[in-house]
Amino acid sequence: MSTPSLTLITGASGFVGRWTSAAFAVRGLPVVATGRSAPALLPGVLRGMTLSPAHDDEHVRTCLRGVRTVVHLAARVHDVHGHTSDEEFDAVNCRWPQRIAELAAQEGATRFIFMSSIKVNGDVTVPGRPFTEASDTRPLGGYAVSKARAELGLAELAERTGMDVAVVRPPLVYGPGVGANFLSLMRLVKRGVPLPFRAIHNARSFIYVENLADLVVRLASAPTQPRHTEVYLASDGEDVSTPELIRRMAAAMDRVPRLVPSPGLRTMLRLAGKGGLVQRLWESLQVDSSKARAALQWTPAISLDEGLRRTAQAMAGS
């Protein structure tokens, strides 16, 4: 019986990284889990090691020893407050994955899976016209631009080194351990705070963290295609409006949603310099994941309602 190939996961201590490491482990696929601090050794995780852009090439090579697949999840995340410079985004989200991929190819790795973002395609879609892999790339802001540049660099590296590169572009990822705006909204719903979003008519895609982790495992297990780069968009496959999301959140927490109209709120927020918030609440952002479903025989196992229920349970226990 052959030994499963070894996979290195960067950012294994993060939100998506923890779930992805666990997804490999429960399937008996050996993992080297790395992060800025050494990740906890889950069953099936052979080694937990520190790994960051500050480490020299020799340390990176040590982490990569025996690895055939790299799953790169480490990133400087999207900064809604504008405190991260374009240079910082570029250093962590663009140059760092290219450096790891280059060294991984030299050490004999054959596949590099890069967690990108749907923001590479843009921030808004026309309702009913979701982004697909054929959509133009129109990144806005340092975070999205750094991810787009990384994708281009990895495609060039694949052609030059013979490595297989798979790029995943998810929308907002939610689940137990989620933070930022999604968690804040769930807390407001739980507290019964009146939310002035009843009149919003949009459609937005999301992906539950375990569904995303399962997709990564499937990519890691698929046959490699040397000198090839493939892009996959990922989502749960159920698009909802902002008020409908709030209703689903409320149901998951056994609460009654308090949605009220607020004429003029959108304009007032824009005038107050809150255009980003307006975009996330009022605009559509739809993702078509049919390519990943067909090519990888991948079906998201956790529905939006079940994902919200599990997220709510974790929030209650934290």
What proportion of the chain, given as a percentage, has pLDDT over 90?
75
| Strand 172-174 to 206-208 pairing | parallel
Question: For 288-313, how does the pLDDT look when each residue is reduced to its tens digit (9 = 90+)?
Answer: 999 999 999 999 999 999 999 999 99
Question: For 150-183, how does the pLDDT look when each residue is reduced to its tens digit (9 = 90+)?
Answer: 999 999 999 999 999 999 999 999 999 998 889 9
Comparing CA positions, the residue from 57, 10, 27 lying closest to residue 221 is 27
Question: For 120-155, how does the pLDDT look when each residue is reduced to its tens digit (9 = 90+)?
Answer: 999 999 988 999 999 999 999 999 999 999 999 999
* CA–CA separation, 66 and 8 (whole Å): 9
**Catalytic residue of the set 143, 174, 208, 232:** 143
Instruction: Note if 143 is an active site residue.
Output: yes
Comparing CA positions, the residue from 209, 185, 176, 180 lying closest to residue 316 is 176
> What kind of fold does domain 6-174+208-235+286-301 have according to CATH?
Rossmann fold (3.40.50)
Positions of E strands within the chain = 6-10, 31-35, 45-50, 67-72, 111-115, 164-169, 172-174, 206-208, 229-233
Predicted local distance difference test score (pLDDT) of residue 236: 96
| Cβ 72 vs Cβ 147: under 8 Å | no
| Cβ 171 vs Cβ 206: under 8 Å | yes
| Cβ 175 vs Cβ 74: under 8 Å | no
Whether 223 has a pLDDT exceeding 70, the answer reads: yes
Q: Where do we find the tokens 């990895």?
A: 154
- Provide mean pLDDT across the span 104-119: 97
| Strand 111-115 to 6-10 pairing | unpaired
The domain ranges of the chain are 6-174+208-235+286-301
| Cβ 307 vs Cβ 212: under 8 Å | no
Whether 44 has a pLDDT exceeding 80, the answer reads: no
Whether 280 has a pLDDT exceeding 90, the answer reads: no
Question: For 49-89, how does the pLDDT look when each residue is reduced to its tens digit (9 = 90+)?
Answer: 899 999 999 999 999 999 999 999 999 986 666 688 999 99
In degrees rounded to 5, what are phi and psi of residue 205?
Answer: -95, 150
Question: Which residue type, as a one-letter code, is found at position 171?
Answer: P
| Cβ 94 vs Cβ 146: under 8 Å | yes
